[in-house]
Structure 1
Amino acid sequence: MSAPTKPKAPRKPRAKSAAKPAPEAAAPAAPHDEATLEAIVRGRLSDPFAVLGPHADAGRPALTVFAPDAGEVEAIDAKGKVLAALERIHPEGVFHTRFARRKAMPAYRLRLRAGEHVWEKEDPFRFGPVLGEMDEYLLAEGRHEELWTKLGAHVCSHEGVEGVSFGLWAPNARRVSVVGHFNAWDGRRHPMRKRLGGGLWELFVPGMGPGEIYKFEIVGAYGEVLPLKADPLAFRMEVPPGNASIVAAPMDRPWGDGAWTKKGREDLRGKPVSIYEVHLGSWRRGDDDRMLSYAEVGPMLADYVEEMGFTHVEFLPLSEHPFAPSWGYQPIGMFAPTSRFGEPRDFAAMVDHLHQRDIGVIMDWVPAHFPSDEHGLARFDGTALYEHEDPRLGFHKDWNTLIYNFGRNEVSNFLRASALYWLNEFHVDALRVDAVASMLYLDYSRDAGEWIPNRHGGRENLDAIDFLRDVNRQVGERSTGQTIAEESTAFPGVSRPVDEGGLGFDFKWNMGWMHDTLQYIQEDPINRRWHHDKMTFGLHYAFSENFVLPISHDEVVHGKGSLLGKMPGDRWQKFANLRAYLGWMWTHPGKKLLFMGSEFGQDREWSHDRSLDWHLLDDDSHKGIQRLVRDLNRVYRDNPGLHRLDCDPSGFRWIDGGDADNNVFSFLRMGGDGDPAVAVICNMAPVLREDFRVGLPSDGAWKEIFNSDATEYGGTGSGNGGRVSADGEGWHGQPVSASLTLPPLACVILRPDA
């Protein structure tokens, strides 16, 4: 007999397939108060991370999402399973849910629907901060020397997700948002997290990558929505007239200039330095007058500079600027190579190529002022943040620009970091700092009553002086780069070390030399005897600074004509005067700088809107000037007497600096350490002088290594047959002398023929 069976329990009825249970039973949403909801939809959240994203609600995790373009919002897991459907709690797109059965917020993404359109995305408000407390501290102290590694837009991986982190300094803003095509330029959608300590704002936007256009929408200190602002630390910007910032691709390109950079920081005072100053947009143009790109112009420029024997290229500012006729001297992108010629990596490739051809790169850098364009730094957070509030301190009436507040820690930090950025990230060798004189003096170009004295009652801008010293100190300590001051006053110690009381620049432009000698050479030769001191006066202070002799872009614009056009006389005399003047410049103590076009006698005044007149090289006279500059660079480089003691008074001695009646100047250049002296004789009169006796320091044969009147340069071919004999009596205080033929309007260089 079988054992009795246990009765079966009745089956539970199956749920109908149309009534699937929710992935998780969500407790009724706990809506935010009405004021908070209004702040969300009106874009007035000053602390968005306190409201949006995941939070605790009655001891349970909750989620609030603002999605004005969605009809439905769900939280899903990594496999796409729905974790919760969010409830719309405001008709303009605020959604909320509370996870009643969970103690911790699950990992989630968002799935959104609008009609038949469905898309997924990460919630930017679920991510933690990217910036740290040390960033806040260093910025407030003004000591975040690699500021560009934190602020700006950075492609990165954060908490395991790819995206872009944004960082901004705007301490007086009530709200800051990142806007762009990615969010329909709606400032409500991506408000940033405010770091209360230093006025920093930050946001990680998941899923974003290089090439995305963006700006910042800022609600100012008084509640006003400001015009959209470009990123002060943008690494790439739109091609003007566009002015939005662009997320730049990481600078991970390989560099090939290791042989150049391993030399480290060189002391250039005793080396030949011959600088070719270039405005990149008008050096050469392509077909249909098209500006060439960094990639196109780099190899062409390297070929030309190498052929001509220049040691360095100096670029007029290549940081982004909205107004082309400013030539870059009114920049807005202090960390962005101008997009007119390509992307940042293209600029880096051009620098790399020049270095591989043994050509140094100098770039003009403009920390003195900035334009008042509304998308730039002007009243950035609704207050005078980067500039001074008082126009007597904060406005340049000459240029209609604003002056940085150098005494504010964060502003000086911003500028200092810009300098280090160009030197370290782009391997630029030196920065030529523009308009230093305007920084040093509070009364620069101001009438009485238009400026405010410093705390001691003086006219010196003490904050700017401290800033410049600090920049130069940091450049010396944190890079292999150097700095050159464009400074036109007698401010003492511009190129002396900071610890010796100087400003710490490596070199200073000799503006006095340039003004005096150009004034002399423009005189009709018959009048030059009355202006002889214009050529000699510079030797009284030639060694007070480490000087660069500049014939720059400033001398060939604004009605000043070309360098050739300044020369007096008929056509032959114009070219002869220019050849003699360039000979004087290349033999005078100081490093050399020549603006493009002057090396072949550009006829027309320079214009940034067109190419140089390269067709002039079909003319023998212009071709001769080009050959002369090429040979001057070679003679300058190959003769230590012409460069080794450029910054030392022992490297110069007059033979006769007082022969005003004959318009003749003669002097010796010495290199020391057994280097032979070089004798220079310049005849600035259109008269051939035969049997002209000149004292020399040693007897024997002297070789004529340069004559600006040579036929290959377009001259008459007068001279000394390439050699003279110093066998005459003592003369000009020298032990021996030689009888020379001095060509008209010419410079002759002699060297002992060992």
Structure 2
Amino acid sequence: MIFNTALVDALMAGDHADPFAVLGMHFEGGALVVRALLPGADQVWVLDAADGATLARLERCGASAVFAGAVAEPSAGPSEGRAAPFPYRLRVDWHGTLHEHEDAYRFPSLFTGDYGGRPYEAMGAHPTRIDGVDGVNFVVWAPNARRVALVGAFNSWDGRRHGMRLHPQRGVWEIFIPQIGPGELYKFEIKTAFGATLLKADPYAFRAQLRPETASVVHALPAVVPAPPERQRANALNSAVSIYEVHLGSWRRADHGRRWLNYRELAEQLVPYVRQMGFSHIELLPVQEHPFDGSWGYQPTGLYAPTSRFGSPEDFRFLVETAHAAGIGVLLDWVPGHFPTDAFALAGFDGTHLYEHADPKEGFHQDWNTLIYNYGRQEVRDFLAANALYWIERYGIDGLRVDAVASMLYRDYSRKEGEWVPNIHGGRENLEAIAFLRRMNELVCSQRPEAITMAEESTSFPNVSRPLEMGGLGFHYKWNMGWMNDTLRYMQEDPVNRKHHHDKISFGIVYAFSENFVLPLSHDEVVHGKGSILARMPGDHWQRFANLRAYYGFMWGHPGKKLLFMGCEFAQAREWDADASLDWHLLDDPAHAGVQRLVRDLNNVLRAYPALHQVDFEQRGFEWISHEDRENSVLSFVRRADDGSCVLVICNFTPVCRPGYRIGVPAAGRYRELINTDQLQYGGSGVGNGVLATDPSGMHGRAQSLALTLPPLATLMLVLEN
């Protein structure tokens, strides 16, 4: 029946669950019937798409905005001539203005449900062409919705205009909108099973509006980035890895601090600086779209969209390409552990707890007032695991630092007794999250073996950075939070008391080879009242800088890859403020400039001497000379490379110069200082050794030894000259 009051009322109320069964062209009662819902239209005609001929004028259905009419002579069946559906266009009189357009309801479905581990290739908004007509195909997962419609400026944000087609077997809704393209704003209007209407951004959007606006933006799926072998070599366990962690909004600001640098300006300024400083990688605090600046990106709402704060997706890709051209890898902080409760995003997406757990004991993160993903749901696992691959494949990202892994591994994380739900075995481990992390790492390793993943994991959960086939989680690296906490506590002690806390500085070696560790001095150590790293060093002005330099020397000599948060490389004096630029003016002070020069030289030495990086994760790459001189707060050890070459590291953590301090050495010969953190050029007192020859005085169980002058509060690195 062409006209049906109940049907028209349902369409006008936006309450018809299957508009594709009604709107568009259908064979009914022996004729082809066209229906169109066009609020605001005065008249509507059907045109033949082949030649533009007018085929019919549609009649308004009562006082509604539904227009309907037959466009072909009655026929015995749909296979005879023009009785079969054919391409057509609509001419619409909008209050005296005529406009011709394609009807979204004449186009077939493109969704096959087969996306081979890359759902982003089908889900979301994809510019495409059907039957010679350009447009955008939209797909969204909302299995419990009563109805889903696409809204945007192209339909005056009217949810009645473009109700979507349901694929019930997958719980997804789809529609092709002709004659629109990249740059269009859109959302999904979802009517829940309970009758409420929600307006949601696209979880798979490749671009999003700048906050406080929340619409998704049509953008083409970025092309796949080739995987050059040199990137895999740079990420390898035996490479020199020194990471510069950056918050893009506060590294440096333009116009006297009034605006952010954009991605292209960062490519021009940040990348050359990182290269000059000798870092191998830049790690970016989350760049996925997020609504609240104060979250620093750790509460993302658009996992597939680079934040529009700093430009377009193409601009972000330019930043990555510029870094690669300079020989610098790019790592992203990635947040699969939780998401914010903002109404426009994932929370209660289709009126049910779709992405999150329904039980707050499982689905609500008490520390951050956020929601926890339901890792037991296949579509959620696919959404997240594919996102990890997306950034690597489509932007050439070299690796992901996975945030808050500990909060994912344990069901009782930050919860009291009675506030959490045990797993099926009655234990505290989150078996579903563990399976997800293993699957994510497997996907990344199998599809992009040049890339790496790093876990920010603060507990002693075993085998985080061990391969899947060994029962591990499959991460390449794990942040060494224990080392960071112990050594910072040690450095905060007055040097006169350090002999009572000597184990804190040496204890890291006890477990240094149980995982593939990164030594992190990250943003978390310079916020929330902790002050800067420099501010935590004891003593007067000179001693604070000397302590910091000695600490950095120890860190670069210690087994493990290195990570330093921006500003720490020049001894930022105040706590990090995400709303302001770093204090670059401090470099006018020789003390700050000296620390910056030291970090640059440490990075250059790290890269130049394999003994300092090649065997970071095996006992054979490290040997104590002595960790027992707690009375003088002195440590000494050897770092070794595969070819047997070595670097000696000696640390004096008291402000006392120690002439004639003897240490045993691996071999006789002349040893030259590579690094002396007390050099004048670094702001030190200038006490040093230059080149020293061994003598056959036994020490520390070795036949040969050196008599050194240990500078006050300093670290030395020495190498045997050939």
TM-score (norm 2): 0.97
Contact 1:265 1:481 (8 Å CA) reproduced: no
Shift of 1:80: 3.1
Q: Distance in 2 between matches of 1:100 and 1:740?
A: 101
| 1:33 CA drift (Å) | 2.2
- For residues 29-85 of structure 1, the C-alpha deviation after alignment (integer angstroms, 9 at most, x for no partner) is x43322111111000111111000000111211111111110100001234321110
Equivalences, count: 711
1:651 to 599, 611, 621: 621
**SS of equivalent to 1:387:** coil
- CA displacement 1:611-643 (0-9 Å, x = unmatched): 000010011000000000000001111111111
Identify the match of residue 206 of structure 2 among 215, 232, 235: 235
Name 1:277's counterpart in structure 2: 245
- Displacement of 1:265: 6.7
Question: Which residue of 1 is the match for residue 52 of structure 2?
Answer: 80
Check the 8 A contact 1:57/1:98 in 2, yes or no: no
Out of 592, 608, 611, the position equivalent to 2:578 is 608
Aligned equivalents of 1:68 and 1:367: distance in 2? 42
Q: 1:250 and 1:171 mapped to 2: Cα distance?
A: 24
Q: 2:698 aligns with which of 703, 719, 730?
A: 730
In 2: Cα distance, 1:558 partner to 1:295 partner: 31
CA distance in 2, matches of 1:526, 1:264: 46
Cα shift readout 1:592-616 (whole Å, capped 9, x = no counterpart): 0000000000011001100000010
- Report the alpha carbon displacement of residue 262 of structure 1 after superposing the two structures with TM: 5.9
Amino acid at match of 1:60: A
1:387 to 356, 359, 363: 356
Match of 1:575 in 2: 545
Q: Secondary structure of the residue that 2:34 maps to in structure 1?
A: strand
Q: Tell me the distance in 2 between the aligned counterparts of 1:42 and 1:86.
A: 21
| 1:104 partner letter | A
Rounded Cα–Cα distance in structure 2 between residues aligned with 1:505 and 1:411: 20
Residue identity opposite 1:105 in structure 2: P
Task: Report if the CA contact (8 A) 1:61-1:104 is conserved.
Answer: yes
Matched, 1:68 2:39: yes
SS of aligned partner of 2:554: helix
Q: Is the 8 A contact 2:166 2:173 kept in 1?
A: yes
Listed as ranges, the matches of 1:154-173 within 5 Å are 154-173=126-145
Give the letter aligned to residue 109 of structure 2. P
1:420-467: CA deviations, max 9, x gaps? 100100000000000000000000000010001111110000000000
Q: Which residue does 2:498 correspond to in 1?
A: 528
Q: Is 1:175 the counterpart of 2:140 in the alignment?
A: no
Identity of aligned residues (%): 56
Provide the residue aligned with 1:504 in structure 2: 474
Residue 19 of structure 1 corresponds to none
Report the Cα distance in structure 2 between the residues aligned to 1:307 and 1:511, rounded to whole angstroms.
28
- Answer whether contact 2:123 2:140 (CA < 8 A) is retained: yes
Matches within 5 A, 1:88-487: 88-101=60-73, 102-132=82-112, 134-135=113-114, 144-226=116-198, 228-249=199-220, 251=222, 260=228, 263-264=231-232, 268-289=236-257, 290-479=259-448, 480-487=450-457
Distance in 1 of aligned mates of 2:533 and 2:230: 38
CA separation in 2, counterparts of 1:100 and 1:615? 78
CA contact (8 A) 1:313 1:361 kept: yes
1:684-695 matches, within 5 Å, as 684-695=653-664
Q: Which is worse superposed, 495-504 or 95-104?
A: 95-104
Alignment pair present for 1:591 and 2:561: yes
Whichever residue aligns with residue 294 of structure 2, its letter is P
Instruction: Tell me if structure 1 keeps the 8 A contact 2:111–2:122.
Output: yes
1:187 aligned counterpart, secondary structure: coil
**Whose Rg is larger?**
1
Residues 650-671 of structure 1: CA distance to partner in whole angstroms, max 9, x if unpaired? 1111100011100000001111
Match of 1:21 in 2: none
Q: 2:137 & 2:488 partners in 1: Cα distance?
A: 53
TM-aligned CA distance change 1:272 to 1:400, over 3 Å: same
Equivalent positions of 1:701-740 (< 5 A) are 701-720=670-689, 722-740=690-708
Post-superposition Cα deviations, 1:268-297, rounded to whole Å, max 9, x if no partner, equal 211100000000010010114210110111
C-alpha contact (below 8 Å) 1:387/1:402 kept by paired residues = yes
> Deviations for 1:287-340, whole angstroms, at most 9, x for unmatched residues?
142101101111211110110000000000000011111000000111000000
Q: Is the 8 A contact 1:507 1:548 kept in 2?
A: yes
Q: Distance in 1 between matches of 2:18 and 2:217?
A: 26
Per-residue CA distance 1:463-509 (angstroms, 9 max, x = gap):
00000000001110011321000000000000000111000000000
The 10-residue stretch of structure 1 (292-301 or 355-364) with the greater mean CA deviation from structure 2: 292-301
Measure the CA separation in 1 of the matches of 2:488 and 2:170.
51
Secondary structure class of the residue paired with 2:507: helix
2:233·2:239 contact (CA, 8 Å) conserved in 1?
no
Unpaired segments ≥5 residues, structure 2: 74-81
List alignment gaps of at least 5 residues for structure 1: 1-29, 139-143
Tell me the secondary structure at the aligned position of residue 339 of structure 2.
strand
TM-superposed CA distance for 1:267, in Å, is 5.9
Identify the residue that residue 713 of structure 2 maps to in structure 1. Answer: 745
Does residue 563 in structure 1 map to residue 541 in structure 2? Answer: no
Instruction: Kindly provide the amino acid, as one letter, of the partner of residue 204 in structure 1.
Output: F
Q: Which residue identity lines up with residue 171 of structure 2 in the other structure?
A: G
Aligned partners of 1:171 and 1:198 also within 8 Å: yes
Cα deviation for residue 249 of structure 1 reads 4.1
CA RMSD of aligned residues (A): 1.3
TM-score, structure 1 as length reference: 0.93
Deviation at 1:88, TM superposition (A): 0.8
**Residue pair 1:53, 1:123 contacting (<8 A) in 2 also:** yes
Q: Aligned with 2:697: secondary structure? A: coil
CA distance in 2, matches of 1:121, 1:274: 56
Secondary structure, counterpart of 2:715 in structure 1: strand
SS in 1 for 2:250: helix
